[in-house]
Homo-oligomer: A and B are copies of this chain.
Amino acid sequence: MELRSLVRGSAAKILLIVVDGLGGIADERHGTELEEAHTPNLDRLAAEGVTGLLEPVGPGITPGSGPGHLALFGYDPFAFELGRGALSAAGLGFDLAPGDVAARGNLCTLDRSGNVVDRRAGRIPDEEARRIVERLEREVRVEGVRVFFRHERQHRLLVVLRGEGLDPGVTDTDPQVEGVPPLPPRPTRPEARRTAELVAAVVAEARRVLADEPRANGLLLRGFDTHRELPPFPERTGLRACAAAVYPMYRGVAKLLGFEVLGEPSDLEEEVALLRRAWPRFDFFFLHHKDADSAGEDGDRARKIAAIEALDAWVPELLALGPDVVAVTGDHATPSQMAAHSWHPVPVLVRGPWCGRDEVDRFGERWCRVGGLGLRRSTDLLPILLANAGRLAKYGA
């Protein structure tokens, strides 16, 4: 049975707040970041609503941002694969043509022997990074293919190869750890052999061009992908959907799913203002808050806690918009102890007129564990939100 066969109209509005990398792990010294954050507004929502834990993709599976978000929007992340390149392109408004191969790039710092000493080039500031990416765009030339470089944010950029016979079946050059050299790109199928060679040439060219840069002297690529068509979210759910996100990649995933992307906000205040202006025109509002994940990836526990508290402070303004159903969760866990995404379940709360109540009155892993929603896959969330909004008809007689 397809969910869309049960979808029916309703005036109820749904607000989904995604705190990127929200989930954490407790250890012998600390609770999770969310447990230890001071979040009076989220706690009140937890008390008035129903809580639980979401497993983003599957047991033990650490999701990237693409699958993590697809699952929250109700798309089976195994059925709908989405490379980081395609997400970045959509987020930057770069129109991928059929046949293009796109990848997510990091500017990185290499030492003299070619080992990665900083995968993010010290989280280089936007202005400096933009100058460097423009250099790459101007100076990198590889025979047989046209190469585009677009700056995203900080050390992040988009790289697109355009030419004949390209294939995205190429492995990442990003080794994901430091102290080792970048990986050589390898084809995952015979048709991608030439593309892998071209990628190797692009990386070598970039290194030549950036040789004199003090900290951004290398390029790491991951998530090779090509243009994809995804079944639009508004068609699947009957919801007019919009997205407010500071980082282009999250605007990208929303755009690929047929959301209207609201401007290019630079912080939570601007995101909330965009949602407020858009409020009458939509049914589903996706607010993305990145900072918790960035702090978690840096292994900075205190900053992750502060990022969660910063979101909490905006909750009253968001509730003042008048959502009928509000949900708060994350796309995956990013425990600061691990300084990386992880497979651990992520807390979730849902508040609406018919959500039911559990006994949980604080938002955090240890409390949500016994909440009324139980432990479930992230793909379960969207039908639960639709049901709470009165947007699903009864199944069967």
Q: A residues within 8 Å of B by Cβ? A: 1, 6, 25-28, 32, 48, 53, 57-68, 77-78, 81-85, 87, 104, 222-223, 225, 335, 337-338, 341-345, 354-359, 365-366, 369-372, 374-376, 380-388, 392-397
* Residue in B6, B356, B383, B397 whose CB lies within 8 Å of A66: B397
Given A358-B366, A370-B369, A372-B369, A395:B344 Cβ within 8 A: no
What 10 A-B pairs have minimum CB-CB distances, sorted nearest first?
A84-B397, A223-B397, A60-B383, A25-B356, A60-B387, A374-B375, A59-B380, A64-B396, A67-B396, A26-B357
Question: A104 near B60 (CB under 8 angstroms)?
Answer: no
* Residue in B87, B381, B396 whose CB lies within 8 Å of A63: B396
Question: A63 near B395 (CB under 8 angstroms)?
Answer: yes
Query: Could you say which residues of chain B place their CB within 8 Å of the CB of A65?
Result: 396-397
Question: B61 near A392 (CB under 8 angstroms)?
Answer: yes
Taking A341-B394, A365-B372 as given, write out 13 further A-B residue pairs in contact, using a Cβ cutoff of 8 Å, ordered by the A residue number.
A1-B78, A26-B358, A27-B356, A59-B380, A63-B394, A63-B395, A64-B394, A65-B397, A66-B396, A337-B354, A345-B374, A369-B370, A375-B376
The complex is assembled from copies of this chain, and their number is: 2
Question: B392 near A60 (CB under 8 angstroms)?
Answer: yes
Query: Could you say which residues of chain B place their CB within 8 Å of the CB of A371?
Result: 369
A26–B84 Cα distance when bound, in Å, is: 42
Pull 30 A–B residue pairs with CB atoms less than 8 Å apart, ordered by A: A1-B78, A25-B355, A26-B358, A28-B357, A59-B383, A59-B384, A60-B380, A60-B382, A60-B385, A60-B387, A60-B392, A62-B387, A62-B392, A62-B394, A63-B395, A63-B396, A67-B396, A77-B395, A77-B396, A84-B396, A222-B397, A225-B397, A335-B356, A337-B354, A345-B374, A356-B365, A358-B366, A359-B366, A375-B375, A375-B376
Query: Could you say which residues of chain B place their CB within 8 Å of the CB of A380?
Result: 59-60
A337–B125 Cα distance when bound, in Å, is: 54
Question: A344 near B356 (CB under 8 angstroms)?
Answer: yes
